[in-house]
Amino acid sequence: MSRPSLRQNLLAAGHDLFWRNGYSATGVRDIVAAAGASPGSFTNHFASKEEFAGEVLERYFAYVCGLVEAALADDGLPPAARLRRYLDIITTRLEAGDWARGCMIGNFSLETSPTSEPLRRKLDDIFARWRKPFAACIAEGQARGEITTAFSADDLADVLLASWQGAMLAMKVERSPAPLERFKTIIVPLLFGKAP
């Protein structure tokens, strides 16, 4: 059995530390120590902490994409029900973190986008890719007359993701699922009401 590469160890350690402490409170020394690596090994694999964080975000986003794909898969459920299924899947994951973690993409957006242009661009790119499957599912619901056509599918997908991130932020502050449930009870019907 082959050993995981040092690069992978560093990325795994960074993922865990960024989750626990955030970007700013996690130093390269912390990452190297958690990975069991020598101090110079980080710069052998990554040009900067920002580049490293961008790779951690990509790995996390790949995980999120798997959840999106599973939730939005056309398995006979109407599009709005599949969108709701995604929210329910995420709610279950958030519960496992005692309502304290939120979404790494949202956490990085709050913490780094004002101070790091490379990470802001990375996050902008991630959100653009993230919206696409939601917009496609919404467009399907609009074509079937199940979701309002008062707004474009792209705009509805954007509002869904941005509002859901806001609900997760409130969840972290309250340490409670209540903001997520309010979102599902109030916002989802408003966003995805039937077409006139």
**Contact indicator for 121, 139 with CB cutoff of 8 Å:** no
Question: Which tens digit of pLDDT belongs to each residue from 40-80?
Answer: 889 999 999 999 999 999 999 999 999 999 999 999 999 99
Distance between CA 19 and CA 101 in Å, rounded?
A: 7
Domains 1-46 and 50-191 alike in fold: no
Question: Which tens digit of pLDDT belongs to each residue from 170-186?
Answer: 999 999 999 999 999 99
Whether residue 196 has pLDDT greater than 50 = no
Across the range 140-160, mean pLDDT stands at 95
77 backbone φψ class: left, alpha, beta (φ>0; ψ -120 to 50): beta
> What CATH architecture is 50-191?
Orthogonal Bundle (1.10)
Question: Which tens digit of pLDDT belongs to each residue from 3-22?
Answer: 558 999 999 999 999 999 99
DSSP letter at 175 equals T
**pLDDT > 90: what percent of the chain?**
89
Domain ranges of the chain: 1-46, 50-191
Q: Could you tell me the pTM of the whole model? A: 0.91
CATH number 3.40.50.2300 is the correct assignment for the domain at 1-46 = no
